[in-house]
Structure 1
């Protein structure tokens, strides 16, 4: 298997309050590696015409830190279909595998702005980088309608746009992060999450996002509708729908698994205070129907 190697430098601003690389920043590293790989190949024009990101899945295995070893990303083409290909990644810091991920991509027709089929030349290039598919544990999801759970107003920043005037795929993960922090703001403040000396934190174990429709810049906020799908002894699963409340358009569906941890990163039981705060925005209870 041939892998493309990309070295990412961790910036000071990439850290969260636990001095770990923030979960969203990993997607930024993946994007940089993917762009570098394309520009270094025979089809750099793909970036001029546009590549639509259809979905991404990240599994976080260990924390990464500022200083010391840089981030090394190994990527390859895990699958190539008629009009879509999947890029797989292993993200390491030193000898530690800190994350695995995949990105589903589709080339865009420069004239129509719609997804097109891969050319024979593009497929041959992808075959040169072909490798095994990565398999992840399926994240819980639920059948539900708009307006349930907690709604957070998402305001797009001008700096979050890509060269085509759409909200960049990485920014969607920032919106998911903002929504879940805001949903638990009251209990977060009372339990002291986020302080540098806090003995409790929430670690992102895995997250997945499916992109349904491009988002554009505007002054009016979009809506992030968050529900809790499952609460275990030390972890919880959430789902967030990013919508345009004016046009009733679904832009993305994100799912995340969070683990409650102590200062050393070891799982700890979820408190009754947190469970009580989650109850009003939990879909079908902890194990009821509707959650798969």
Structure 2
């Protein structure tokens, strides 16, 4: 599981607003887009959204009556995010409306509607768990914490499920990519921050695609084709900590569609039989406007050896 950690707060005051999306009063946070948040295509990179979500979540908790939840411990169990439109570097902030779903004994969900201006750019959900940092285990929420969360309880957010393996796959089949944890990726709990796992998923899939896209024109100036992330998720199983030796990301292709490719990534320690996290990513082959276009047959042929069947 990946903890939330502490995020930088913007210089704007958070407000509340009524939206028909949830049937309750959500918490609204405005995140400023940084120049470094852009990808080579000039769009806000998909991983940056997880950072905005973390900023909003931490700001919400710190501005509530139980800010100690962060120091006591709140772990991220999973993320699921769908990307609906492109956002850009501009004066318009990223506006995040969040509310609570799936309120249980030690776990709760946080749903997000994410906008830039009037454009609905993404929707997402995080499952979190209250945690005893000193004891190293989950803890049940205190009654007062539950009552506070209940005040933000709104409608559930459901997603179209991402593909899952039709058959079990074993280590050694997929593409292997070493992952080095940076010291700056640790949070106040001395765990790798949850956002970094999406960076690892991005890094591993880009490395995996280097050979299949060899001699193809993607990324060259003037080429009309591009790749966009349509959806991704991450389930955190065991906290990762800093170590000098690299971890191992193993990636397989679950599905090659007419315009998209779906990946699954598992993060291991090559010396220990532990899976730290499992993530999925749907990559769409698109034109400059983000409209899906068919995958060329040469690429489909090259992806076949790494596709789970």
TM-score bracket, shorter-length normalisation: over 0.9
Match of 2:60 in 1: 37
Match of 1:280 in 2: 305
Q: Which region of structure 1 is more displaced relative to structure 2, 159-168 or 193-202?
A: 193-202
2:78 is the alignment partner of 1:51:
no
Match of 2:138 in 1: 115
Match of 1:288 in 2: none
User: TM-score, structure 2 length as denominator?
Assistant: 0.89
1:274 is paired with a residue of what secondary structure? helix
Match of 1:5 in 2: 28
User: TM-score, structure 1 length as denominator?
Assistant: 0.95
Contact 1:184–1:277 (Cα < 8 Å) also in 2: no
Counterpart selection for 2:202 from 149, 172, 177: 177
CA distance in 1, matches of 2:221, 2:70: 40
Unpaired stretches in structure 1, ≥5 consecutive residues: 285-292
Aligned length: 284
Match of 2:283 in 1: 258
Deviations 1:5-33 (A, max 9, x none): 00000011000111110000100000000
CA distance in 2, matches of 1:24, 1:240: 15
Q: CA deviation at 1:271?
A: 1.2
2:239 is the alignment partner of 1:214:
yes
CA distance in 1, matches of 2:183, 2:219: 27
What root-mean-square deviation, in Å, do the aligned CA atoms of Structure 1 and Structure 2 show?
Answer: 1.1
CA distance in 1, matches of 2:148, 2:53: 19
Counterpart selection for 1:139 from 136, 148, 162: 162
Contact 1:18–1:194 (Cα < 8 Å) also in 2: no
2:188 is paired with a residue of what secondary structure? coil
Counterpart selection for 2:264 from 231, 239, 244: 239
CA distance in 2, matches of 1:247, 1:96: 45
Deviations 1:171-215 (A, max 9, x none): 000000001000011344522333464311111100011000011
Contact 1:21–1:63 (Cα < 8 Å) also in 2: yes
Unpaired stretches in structure 2, ≥5 consecutive residues: 1-23
Match of 1:89 in 2: 112
Match of 2:11 in 1: none
